[in-house]
Structure 1
């Protein structure tokens, strides 16, 4: 238990001690006076129960005024979330109305709106490369503005999306080399990456990037934006057929301990925020006890006063 003001507790306990001393002195004088007058003195502990309850009430009130609080473990959603959003040319396909990118933006905005202030949210836009457009921040309006600015351009590199997201999480450049080694970026159990993509990967070492995230205990949830039937997009004068690659997105999620979430139409995209479970952390938070103690003190004072009145009436 913690106290907001230990000084008030000390003062309150001194007052309580003074009242107890005064009650004892008063009881002794009363006993002596009654004995001198030849009046029988009521015996037993019940004779002093009213005064005892009153003094106990004052003592409890003294503790309450000191602002006591108990530290209790409270689970809550907290940590860092990076929204990695695919802005490659294939995201201009209209098999998700009006386009895959517009649908992903809408789902990402809904996701941000559903998160508490305890979650820092950042945004990474990726195609063949990746760029952190909003660093993780508790001010979610920054992430929303970054999402609104996204435009379609280039190819797709899911590996670059993961490494850029890890860079945003750690605050240090994360690079996956070609020598076979997996860099150690530390342990980040409160961080999560959510990738919105059609899964059309065209470059980058995806498998090694996912392994880096797995080693750092960063879970990756993937949201598949598009349909298996796909659609045709126009790129540099050419018409290209593009479809959702669920296998790649599922592999990323499973490798890192996350989950794959299909979102092939507008309705499913709108509800994607409810299907992604972020990790709970447990933190000790103060639970004020003053209210309960004041209630107990009032009960003791009332009982003490009532018993004192009843006892005084019988004596008279």
Structure 2
């Protein structure tokens, strides 16, 4: 927690000053005290009060003064709040390894189905963009609330050679910059960081990278993540697939132009593509560093069900972003409640006892 006007915290000094004034008045009262023959008679005449009944109202009133002093300094804290202008850039790996059949019928089909469900179940006000990447990356659909357009693009994903994870992150940054003026495009000199910027505050826009491999071309993913972190953009990464080698199987409409694997034994047949066996080679260290560096998280999904669950749970984290919120009103409410409670208890416990009614005359 921080304060907009820290010097105002000096107002809390009013509390010890009040105690000092109370001590001084008590001392003066002792000097003018009247000598009586029996103190016991005076105590008997006063209503009895236990020590805790005397101290609780004072403690509550003092706590109220402290809270009021803090309110003058305008406290603020960084908290997670729901965002009404969230945009999500979904970057999907369409490299040739997505033809692996370790996830039935193949990884690309399972990823497309999970992305399909993610779009359909997303909030209608959430803007979603689609980036695909293999050896290069490209923006297929800019951030939009048009679910039909997104679903149509997801249904036409095609594979190609190479895996450019870093470039996909940079492409996603530029797509966000087109709709969010607070985010600079890649290659723009951001200058010196703002010393007053809260390091825990993020832009409402988020990047989600789904891949089954490691970066093979283009900019390093961690270098790209540094660009995202400098713009306060979170990147969530998902490693998809198993470690078991499996045949490479893709249908004809999932094959992009150009060679796919470029190794002997690859062949087309039966209206699709069948290649050799391949194991998972996710660079989990790099994906974890990307997520940690940007304030996101890394997830591992080994089958279609886990991938659907991961994407389904993401809106709970993506939909919240951290921002500074002023807490003055809460301090004022606490101060008023404490002070009035203390005064009320004091009046209640110090009320005069009811006088007995005189007996009626005969």
TM-score bucket (shorter structure): 0.5 to 0.7
Unaligned stretches of 5+ in structure 2? 1-80, 194-200, 249-259, 265-275, 324-362
Q: 1:282 to 1:188 in 2, by over 3 A?
A: closer
Q: In the alignment, what sits opposite 2:204?
A: 190
Question: Secondary structure at the residue paired with 1:235?
Answer: coil
Aligned runs of 1:221-300 on 2, under 5 Å?
A: 221-233=236-248, 235-238=261-264, 239=276, 241-245=278-282, 246-276=284-314, 277-280=317-320
Range with greater deviation from structure 2 (198-207 or 238-247): 238-247
Question: Secondary structure at the residue paired with 2:318?
Answer: coil
Q: In the alignment, what sits opposite 1:122?
A: 129
Q: 1:168 to 1:188 in 2, by over 3 A?
A: farther
Aligned 8 A contact 2:100 2:278 in 1 = no
Aligned 8 A contact 2:118 2:311 in 1 = yes
Q: In the alignment, what sits opposite 2:105?
A: 98
In the aligned structure 1, how far is the partner of 2:213 from the partner of 2:294? 16
TM-score (norm 1): 0.59
Aligned 8 A contact 1:231 1:243 in 2 = no
What is the CA RMSD across the aligned residues, in angstroms? 2.8
Aligned 8 A contact 1:160 1:204 in 2 = yes
In the aligned structure 2, how far is the partner of 1:132 from the partner of 1:75? 27
| Residues 193-220 of structure 1, C-alpha deviations (whole Å, 9 max, x = no match) | 1111113210222221110001111111
In the aligned structure 1, how far is the partner of 2:125 from the partner of 2:312? 17
Aligned 8 A contact 2:209 2:238 in 1 = yes
Q: In the alignment, what sits opposite 1:219?
A: 234
Range with greater deviation from structure 2 (152-161 or 248-257): 248-257
| Residues 114-170 of structure 1, C-alpha deviations (whole Å, 9 max, x = no match) | 211221100001111111000101112221111111111121010111011111111
Q: 1:213 to 1:282 in 2, by over 3 A?
A: closer
TM-score (norm 2): 0.52
Q: 1:248 to 1:97 in 2, by over 3 A?
A: farther
Aligned 8 A contact 1:261 1:275 in 2 = no
In the aligned structure 1, how far is the partner of 2:318 from the partner of 2:296? 10
